Structures are given as C-alpha cells and as structure tokens.
Structure 1
Amino acid sequence: MNKNKTDKTIVRLSQWAGMALLAGLVIWAGIFFWKGYHYEQTNDAQIDAYLSPVNAKVGGYIRKIYYKDNQRVKKGDTLVVIELDEYALRKDVAMAELMSARARLHILAATEATQVKSMAVIRAQLVGAKAKVSQQQREYERYKSLLADESTTQQKFDNVATALAITQSDYEQANAGLGVAASKLDDLKAQRAAVDADIKIKEALLGRQELDVKYTVITAPFDGLVGKKTIQEGQLIQPGQTLAFLVNQSEEKWVIANFKETQIGAFKTGQKVSIEVDAFPNEKFNGAIESLAPATGSRYSLLPPDNATGNFVKVIQRIPVRIRLTDAPEKIARLAAGMNANVYVLKDE
C-alpha cells in the first residue's frame, strides 16, 4: 500500500513538473514571438561615450605620476609632471636674449639723442656760416665797385674774393654735415625699428619657452575618470604621445546597435527604443533612434570587401544605429563605455 501511494505521488509530481515546464515553454515562446512581432531586436550593441586622450605637449622624462587606474579626477588636477630642468634652462636663455635686445634698444635711444644734439650744434654753426657768407658777399660787392673806380688794388680785391669763396665753402661743408647727421639719424631710427622687431621675436620666444615650462605639468581638462595607466615614472615621452584616456562623466552616453540590413527598413529618427544592459539584467533603459549610419560597418573597415573579385557569397550586412539614452542623468551615469546591451526597437512608431 505504501509503495503504491509513493508511486502515485511520484507520478503526480512528474505530471505537475511536466505541466509547469510546458507552461514555461509556452510563456517563453509567447514572449519571444510577441517581441519578435512588436520589436526589431539585436544583441550586437554596446554603450559608447567619448574617450578624451590626454596628450603630452612637450617631450621629456616623466618625473612624477599623480593618478592611478580608474581614478576619479577633478578639472585642473595634476596628472603627470615632466622633468623641468631642460625647459627652465631654455627659458633662462630666452630671457637673457630678450634683456640683451632691450639693452641694445636703450643704447640706440641714447645714440639717437646724442645725434639729435649734434644736429642742433651743426644747425647753429650753419646759421653762423650763412651770416659770414652774407657779410663776405657784401664785402665782395663793395670791393668790386672800388676796383671798378680804381679806388683799390687788384690784390685787395683778390683777397676779398678768396675770403668769400672760403666762407661759402665753410657754409656748404656745414650744410653737408647736417645732411650726413640727418642720414645717420635715419639709420639709427631704422636700427631702432629692427631692434623693436627683434624684441618682439625674443618676447614671443620667451612666451613659447614659458608655455613649454607650463606644459611640463599635465592636468585634467575636465572632471572624469582616468582609464588604465600605461606609463611609468622615468619613462621618456614624445610630444603628442597619449598618456591616458579620460572619460567625461558630464558628457552624454549613447548606444551603437548594429542591426541587420533586413531590420532597418522602417527605422526612423525619434523611434522609441528599449535597452537591456548585461551589467544590469533586471533593469531597463529607454532611448530613441538618433541617426543611422550612411554605410554598412564593413565599409568602414581597413580593407572593405570587393564583391567583384573571387566567388561571391552573399552575407547580410549590419548598419550601425546610434541611439540616444533618454533616462535621467543619474541613471545613465552608471553605464560604462563598452558594456554589452540588447536593443529592442518598437515597430510602427
């Protein structure tokens, strides 16, 4: 009796288990076909975000690294410091060259002032020489009249004429000296302009060296999370070398879903999207189609396929679809770039 009762219990439990399994399969199949009817779906999707590279603007040996893997940083926080000695020396040289150029400018200014005074002296001499010429010219005319009246000797007249020629020569010499002095002043002004230009060049070079000194301290450009550290202290880096990647937490994140070309016929901008992220299996995220790629993913590869060569095998292509996340920023902030996701696009929207 007990054995028969036990057998009946086992059979009944097996029947119930089979019925539960069958019901589960029916429910799963119903959900699967319901989703297939109402949604276009793909599991070829990932969360994406902008990864900003932190690059070195100057080369040198790394003196100190102030961040660790996956560390949260604030804007302006120091990430890396490069050895300063070489750049400080270049700055000192540029400063010395600038001081030298400025000193030459002061010397030229003093020489220019002296030349202006010399010209003033020559002008005064020129006035005196001109007065002497006028006086000697009158003396010459007087003796010329006396000689015509035979009231003086030829020798006296010749002496007066010679004195007039000497006086005129002195005047012309003074006038020529003024012209030379003026030309030299113009030369000094031209040299001053050249020195002014040289000073501007030296100031620009000094500014560049000061920038290089500033660039030896590499800071975070915004708040975010630093990725994996790939550099070491004492390592030689080159200008433009990427030192780290920084994820901006305040920037938007989006989903790139690669749908088959046979699925996107009815897709349009703004269409609602439901997203399941593998990292949060019990949570759904909402979004909307933002854009569709103008070409298939294979066309963006390094060596795009050429169907005109060899034996052609038709392969269904995939189209990258960009999806904007529409949930609250606090919810989206939990997502990390590269996370896998399942995407469901609601039909007939």
Structure 2
Amino acid sequence: MSTHKQSKTDQAISRITTITALIVLVVLLVWGGKTVLSYMKYEETNDAQIDEYINPVTARVSGYVKEVRFEENQEVKKGDTLVLIDDDDYTVQQDEAAASLLNAEAQVAVQQSNIRTAQAGAAVSSAKIASAKAKLWKQQAEYDRYKKLYDAESATRQQLETIESLLQVAQAEYQAAKEDYAAALSKTNDIKAQSDVLQSEIKRRQAVVKRNNLNTSYTVILAPYDGKMGRRTIQPGQLVQNGQTLAYIVDRSQGKWVVANFKETQIARMHVGEEVSVEIDAFPNVSFTGKIESLSGATGSRFSLLPPDNSTGNFVKIAQRIPVRIRLAAQQVDFEKLNAGMSAIVKVKKND
C-alpha cells in the first residue's frame, strides 16, 4: 500500500517537473526566437543616454549678491530674474558718466558761440580791407596827380613827399587789414577744429555712458531661455567675480536627443533621417521614437582627453564606438519627464 502511494507521488512530481520543463523550454524558445528575430532586424545598443544642453549662468560684472530669486530644480521662463547683484557702484559710475556727457555737450554750445563771434570778427576785418583798399586807391591817385605836377614843376618836393608818405600809410593799413582778416579766418578755423575734437570727445563719453548702462543692466541676471535650474551654490551677500559661474540651467528650448554609442560594426547601413525606437530605463513600458540626426565624424575615443596612440606598441584590437545623435520627437507621452543623463536602449532597423 505504501509502495503504491509512493509511486503515485513520484508520478505527480514527474508530471510537474515535465510540465515545468516544457514551460521553461517554450519560454526560452520564444525568448530566443524574439532575440534572434530582433538581432536580424535591428541594430541595438544599451550604451545610450538622454542629453540636453546644460549651460552655465555666469556673472558679467563683479559685486555682492543682493538677492537670489530661484531655487534648485526650479522651472523658469525666458526673462525671469535669477540673481540681483548690488548695483550702487555702477549707478554712481552711470551718473558720473552722464554728467560728463552733459558737460561736453554744454561746451559744444560755447564753441558754437565762439565760432559765430570769430566769424563776425572776420566779417569786420573783411570790411576794413575794403575801406583800406578804397583809401589806398585814393592816395595812389593823389600821389600820381602830384607826381605829374612835380614833374611839370607845379608842385614842390615837400608836397610830393607828404603825399608819398600818406600813400605808404595807406598801403600799410591795407596790408594790416588783410593780415587781420587772415588772422580772423585762422582763429575761426582753429575754433572749428576744436569743435571737431569736442564732437569726438562727446562720442567717447557717449560710449562710456553706454558701457556704464550695460554694466548696470548686467547686475540683473535673467534666464536666457525656458529651462530648469540646476544646483544652487550662491547666497545673498556673497562676492562674485566677472565671469564666475553662478548656476547651471537646462535649456528646454532646444529639445532633447539621445547619444547612442554603436559599435563600428553596426553603423554600416545607418543613415541620417532614419527612424529609431528608444526605450528609457525610467519608463520601461513606454517606447519613444526619434530620427537619426547625425553620425559622429570620429570614434568616441578620438574625442577623449587622451586619445589612444596605437603606435606605442601595446595595441589591442577592440570594437570602437561611434556616437550617433538621435533627435527625439517632442509630442510624445512622458516626453517632458525625460532628463539628461537617463539611460536608454536604442534600436535601429537594419536596411538592406
């Protein structure tokens, strides 16, 4: 009786074992078949990550942080104020530059007045030339008349010399009038030249005002585009320097892509524009689509800090990786949840 029960138990165990083995075999066959079919139809790699542009937010002027208006991992819009730097020093410089510009512009008005005065003086000198010329012409005619009278012995030598001296005075006055006019013109030209120099000075001071206005505006640091802030490392009261990195921002406006590192033996039939299937480890039940945007011009090792040199004598042949950039389509479920650095599995259909 006991032997009979033991035999039934052994048979049950045998059946269960056989069924379990068959189930495992079927599962293995199905999995193996799918793997083989996938290997035949697709090139696949799990050496892939989501990527986005992550750019530094830097200070363009030095100063003390007055206020920080963002938190770590905060979503921001283009134009949102991120950091305020104390602008007292820059507003003082701005006011000083504006005052200097006003002073230079006031000097222009003075120069214009001086030019008008000099031009009026030149006009007076020009009028004196005409008067002196008329006087000279009269004295010359008087001298010629007395010379003829003297030659005809109708006038004395003393009278001729008197008229001759008056003629020389008229000539001297005429020459002096011309020289005065030339000096007045020269003075006018000098003032005009000084005015040109002053105009250049005004342009220089306008540039200084513009520079100070820019420096003052740089004390307000704005978000350059829609994005998500990274780690916050600054606090109010902290001294920052020109060019110092204040934070990092993930650029949401440029989209997201995957950098998949395929073996060099896998990319022979890949081409730009080809559709790609992407699975993200964080969302195992969601399949994302994208298109190949570009294939790298060199292997990843060639872009490393210390590229390998095969001529050193320790060469070992291994399959190199070629980075392939894949642009993800934006209108997809859970697309906004994808973050840079997430691991992915990429499948590219083989082309004949």
TM-score by length of 1: 0.92
2:151 corresponds to which residue?
148
1:114 corresponds to which residue?
117
Q: Give the C-alpha shift of residue 24 in structure 1.
A: 2.9
Q: Read off the aligned partner of 2:254 and give its amino acid letter.
A: E
1:118-133 correspondence runs (5 A): 118-133=121-136
Q: Are 1:75 and 2:74 counterparts?
A: no
Which range moves more in the overlay, 287-296 or 201-210? 287-296
2:325 corresponds to which residue?
322
Question: CA RMSD of the aligned region, Å?
Answer: 2.2
Question: 2:288·2:332 contact (CA, 8 Å) conserved in 1?
Answer: no
Q: Report the Cα distance in structure 2 between the residues aligned to 1:52 and 1:311, rounded to whole angstroms.
A: 39
Q: Give the C-alpha shift of residue 174 in structure 1.
A: 1.0
Gaps of at least 5 residues in structure 1 are none
Q: Cα distance 1:116–1:10, how it changes in 2: closer, same or farther (>3 A)?
A: same
1:302 corresponds to which residue?
305
Q: Report the Cα distance in structure 2 between the residues aligned to 1:172 and 1:274, rounded to whole angstroms.
A: 100
Q: Report the Cα distance in structure 2 between the residues aligned to 1:150 and 1:242, rounded to whole angstroms.
A: 107
Give the one of 198, 202, 212 matched to 2:201.
198
Which range moves more in the overlay, 31-40 or 339-348? 31-40
User: Secondary structure of the equivalent of 1:46?
Assistant: strand
Q: Read off the aligned partner of 1:272 and give its amino acid letter.
A: E
Q: Give the C-alpha shift of residue 180 in structure 1.
A: 0.5
Q: Report the Cα distance in structure 2 between the residues aligned to 1:330 and 1:189, rounded to whole angstroms.
A: 73
Gaps of at least 5 residues in structure 2 are none
1:28 corresponds to which residue?
31
Q: Cα distance 1:327–1:223, how it changes in 2: closer, same or farther (>3 A)?
A: closer
User: Secondary structure of the equivalent of 2:327?
Assistant: strand
Q: Give the C-alpha shift of residue 8 in structure 1.
A: 6.8
Q: Report the Cα distance in structure 2 between the residues aligned to 1:175 and 1:347, rounded to whole angstroms.
A: 98
Q: Report the Cα distance in structure 1 between the residues aligned to 2:45 and 2:292, rounded to whole angstroms.
A: 14
* % identical equivalent positions: 48
Deviations 1:104-159 (A, max 9, x none): 21221111111111112222222221221122112212211221222222112111
Q: Are 1:248 and 2:248 counterparts?
A: no
Give the one of 318, 339, 348 matched to 1:336.
339
Q: Cα distance 1:22–1:197, how it changes in 2: closer, same or farther (>3 A)?
A: same
Give the one of 244, 265, 270 matched to 2:268.
265
Q: Are 1:283 and 2:286 counterparts?
A: yes
Q: Read off the aligned partner of 2:41 and give its amino acid letter.
A: H
1:167 corresponds to which residue?
170
Q: Give the C-alpha shift of residue 187 in structure 1.
A: 0.7
Q: Cα distance 1:141–1:270, how it changes in 2: closer, same or farther (>3 A)?
A: closer
Which range moves more in the overlay, 239-248 or 196-205? 239-248
1:201-216 correspondence runs (5 A): 201-216=204-219
User: Secondary structure of the equivalent of 2:44?
Assistant: strand
Question: 2:225·2:253 contact (CA, 8 Å) conserved in 1?
Answer: no
Q: Read off the aligned partner of 2:194 and give its amino acid letter.
A: Q
Which range moves more in the overlay, 24-33 or 36-45? 24-33
1:88 corresponds to which residue?
91
Q: Cα distance 1:12–1:269, how it changes in 2: closer, same or farther (>3 A)?
A: same
1:233 corresponds to which residue?
236
Q: Report the Cα distance in structure 1 between the residues aligned to 2:88 and 2:9, rounded to whole angstroms.
A: 90
Q: For this pair of structures, how many residues does the alignment match?
A: 349
Give the one of 39, 42, 47 matched to 1:39.
42
Question: 1:249·1:333 contact (CA, 8 Å) conserved in 2?
Answer: no
Q: Read off the aligned partner of 1:323 and give its amino acid letter.
A: I
Q: Read off the aligned partner of 1:269 and give its amino acid letter.
A: V
User: Secondary structure of the equivalent of 1:45?
Assistant: strand
Q: Give the C-alpha shift of residue 7 in structure 1.
A: 7.5
TM-score by length of 2: 0.92
Q: Read off the aligned partner of 1:44 and give its amino acid letter.
A: D
Give the one of 222, 227, 234 matched to 2:225.
222
Q: Are 1:177 and 2:184 counterparts?
A: no
Q: Cα distance 1:240–1:329, how it changes in 2: closer, same or farther (>3 A)?
A: farther
Q: Give the C-alpha shift of residue 330 in structure 1.
A: 5.7
Question: 1:286·1:327 contact (CA, 8 Å) conserved in 2?
Answer: no
